[in-house]
Structure 1
Amino acid sequence: MLPSCFRNICKNSVLPKKTFGGAFSKNNFATEATFETKPYRLHKLDTSPSTTVTINREDAIKFYTQMNTIRRIETAAGNLYKDKIIRGFCHLYSGQEAVAVGIKAALRPHDGVITAYRAHGWSYIMGVSPLGVLAELCGRQKGCAKGKGGSMHMYSDNFYGGNGIVGAQVPLGVGIALAARYKGTDGVCVALYGDGAANQGQVFEVYNMAKLWNLPCIFVCENNGYGMGTSSERAAASTNYYSRGDYIPGIWVDGMDVLAVRECFRFSVDYAGSGKGPLVIEAATYRYSGHSMSDPGTSYRTRDEIQEVRQTRDPITSFKEKIISANLVTADEIKKIDGEIRSQVDEATKQAKIDAEIGLDELPADVYSQSLEPKIRNVDPFKPLVHKRLGAAVNI
């Protein structure tokens, strides 16, 4: 049986409605198109994001490129892991691309994002190059954290990770929202977590704090149907994650539709950024791979279930069909974009494999993003750290 998040999507299914404004470029492309999304479900809200969404040609190409690049990066990461070039943990985002791309499309430059360990796609969408992602996964110096963070700990401007402890990023996200309030900006923080982490006590603790202080935090449960190997129905008495905040308003959105996600977060950013307080969003999505690379992902669900989602709900394929049928792009353009993405990620993979690791002398460095101390020990190559037990100067 399909998990509830997917069954809910099917139950609320509405066929896309295309309308054209009649404006065409000199190349006879439609400059924009309008679609109807599936209805949102609301908790303690009188107004809803619009179910009528409009997209222009530029954004259509941008969103498709971003989602497909994430998918290609994750495919490369999976292959590198199987070749034992990536070691340790590796959690792939394949299938969930519309959530990251849709949210990012609604954010301003000063808004923050923090997520869990399924962070490769988010790292890319927040400004890290494919090489920066893949080199970090391989532990190489061209990685976004110089190879020190690996799969779980990637960072960029206003992107606070990639966090390895289940649910621990959610309180940190409320702290980032508090910092925005303290600085007097209208910035928000998007704190993402999975349906498994949604049952953590710390999540409910910071729901309370965020609402008590009306902090600009948007809690996002990426409900992919399974927490590790346990379906949401077997792990939670209530699978309506968007209403879990109780006194915090919530929205359910189809997380496989990039345009629905974008519209939802345009509404959410305006709501939280204008001083109305936090929101809880449930993005119903699906992951194609196992929980991590050590999980085949087929012991607790069938291959037929995965294939059904790929054929009927894939966020990239369905979006591609929409924008081609709306005459925003042509099939030949899509083919060219696919080829360029393939070449870019293949080259990044090649460079990540041959890149060097950082030296041992750099291991104690980068403790602070902006150090207030006049000197940090052992970052001077002429004064190495003294190993007290050995009584000798060694680089460790």
Structure 2
Amino acid sequence: MATKKKSKFSKEQYLKWYEDMLLMRKTEEKAGQLYVQQKFGGFCHLYIGQEAVVAGAVSATKEGDKHITAYRDHAHPIAMGIHPKYMMAELYGKTTGLVKGKGGSMHMFSKEKNLMGGHGIVGAQIPLGAGIAFAEKYKETDNVTICSMGDGAVRQGALHETFNMAMLWELPVVFLIENNNYAMGTSVERTSNVTDLSEIGESYDMPAMAVDGMSVEEVHNAIEKAAEHARSGKGPYLLEIRTYRYKGHSMSDPAKYRSKEEVEEYKSKDPVSVVLDIIEKKKYASEKQIKEIQDRVKETVNEAVKFAEESPAPKPEELYEDVYMQEDYPYIRDNKY
């Protein structure tokens, strides 16, 4: 009789993935509602549908590893263990936000959790990610940098310069292409004759692979493999993680460039629902326990909104703070400049 293959992942891991991804999803849904109600302004890019990517990235890496991404960055602090109230307060532009209300939707940072930021300039985080990895190598740590980008950022020239230098210097960086099929409203097929984006690494002899980004297990496995490669001193690794966003590029995008059938096809592979199905089939949690998780998530989201709305707005004079590290600039520190 054939023995049943044991899952690599524990019951606790599946439950954590489910709660984390559900919290990302519900927080983003609430952020979308609040944006429509004009509770906060600026740009707003939702991560709904892509939760498995950052959930798998965090579970596959270790404390000390650095994460840097683009402007679709609301879910990243949540995945890294930060209460969503601080992300929500940042959306509101409040002083209790992750960067004191000065970054907004596209610039979520956390020094404590090694989240090296969301970045609003398309592709800007690619050379920055390599630079962070260079610092880790210079300091002789065993930390890896996870540098995420969208499929649109792959068209930036900075990517090619960065890939060349990263391979030349064998930097400990894993490049993640979060390929959700569309750069704003333009499909990959309309922007490149190379639609298998993992092949881009071949020009630099960079090992690469394509990954099912709707499966948190597949994402975890791929990033774990890539991170170990980089951590062992073998240099960069490229992962094309094929995912999907259920909403438009931003809140101002009606997403009419894709069919309802396409969206529904991807929703049938929804990463949050898939993990819940596994939990139910393997009886990792009872209906009551699942309901408790869902209620806890709902309460956390409500707490986040309340915290953001009740937090103070920055004072005008705070505009001049956090511009420079004052210890490094004595003229500013001593008010001589």
TM-score by length of 2: 0.94
Give the Cα separation in 1 of the matches to 2:104 and 2:90: 5
Alignment of 1:4-153 (within 5 A): 19=4, 34=7, 54-153=8-107
Q: Report the identity percentage.
A: 44
2:122 pairs with 1:166: yes
Give the match's secondary structure for 1:160. strand
User: What are structure 2's unaligned runs of at least 5 residues?
Assistant: none
Give 1:209 shift.
0.4
Q: Deviations over 1:231-290 (max 9, x none)?
A: 111111101111201211101111111111111111111110000110110111000110
Aligned partners of 1:243 and 1:280 also within 8 Å: no
Write the mapping of 1:204-215 to structure 2, written as runs, cut at 5 A: 204-215=160-171
Could you list the per-position Cα deviations for residues 155-191 of structure 1 after superposition, in whole angstroms to 9, with x for gaps in the alignment?
0131111100001100000000000000001111111
| Counterpart mapping for 1:279-294 below 5 A | 279-294=237-252
Counterpart mapping for 1:1-396 below 5 A: 19=4, 34=7, 54-157=8-111, 158-246=114-202, 247-297=205-255, 299-310=256-267, 312-368=268-324, 371-374=327-330, 376=332
User: Offset at 1:96?
Assistant: 0.2
Q: 1:218 aligns to what SS in structure 2?
A: strand
Distance 1:367 1:271, change over 3 A: same
Equivalent position SS for 1:376: helix
Whichever residue aligns with residue 366 of structure 1, its letter is: D
- Contact 2:326 2:333 survives alignment (8 Å): no
Q: Aligned equivalents of 1:222 and 1:96: distance in 2?
A: 8
Say which SS state the counterpart of residue 192 (structure 1) adopts.
strand
**Structure richer in helix, relative to its length:** 2
- C-alpha displacement of 1:370: 7.5
- Rg larger for: 1
CA distance in 2, matches of 1:279, 1:228: 26
Asked whether the equivalents of residues 77 and 84 of structure 2 are also in contact (C-alpha less than 8 Å), the reply is no
| CA RMSD of superposed structures (Å) | 1.8
Secondary structure at 1:113's aligned position in 2? strand
| CA offsets 1:199-239 (integer angstroms, 9 cap, x no match) | 11110111100001111111100000111001111111101
8 Å contact kept, 1:56–1:328: no
- Matches of 2:273 and 2:82, distance apart in 1: 24
Separation in 2 of the partners of 1:235 and 1:301? 16
Assess, with a 3 A threshold, how the Cα gap between structure 1 residues 172 and 321 changes in structure 2: closer, same or farther. Answer: same
With over 3 angstroms needed to count, the CA separation of the structure-2 counterparts of 1:281 and 1:370, relative to structure 1, is farther
State the 1:367 CA deviation: 2.6
Deviation at 1:369, TM superposition (A): 5.9
The letter of the residue matching 1:235 is T
Q: 1:177 to 1:331 in 2, by over 3 A?
A: same
In 2, Cα distance between equivalents of 1:369 and 1:249: 39
Structure-1 separation of matches of 2:326 and 2:51: 33
Describe the SS at the equivalent of 2:177. strand
2-structure distance, mates of 1:369, 1:317? 45
In structure 1, give the amino acid aligned to 2:289: E
Runs of 4+ aligned structure 1 residues displaced above 4 Å come to none
- 1:353 shift after superposition: 1.9
State the 1:307 CA deviation: 2.2
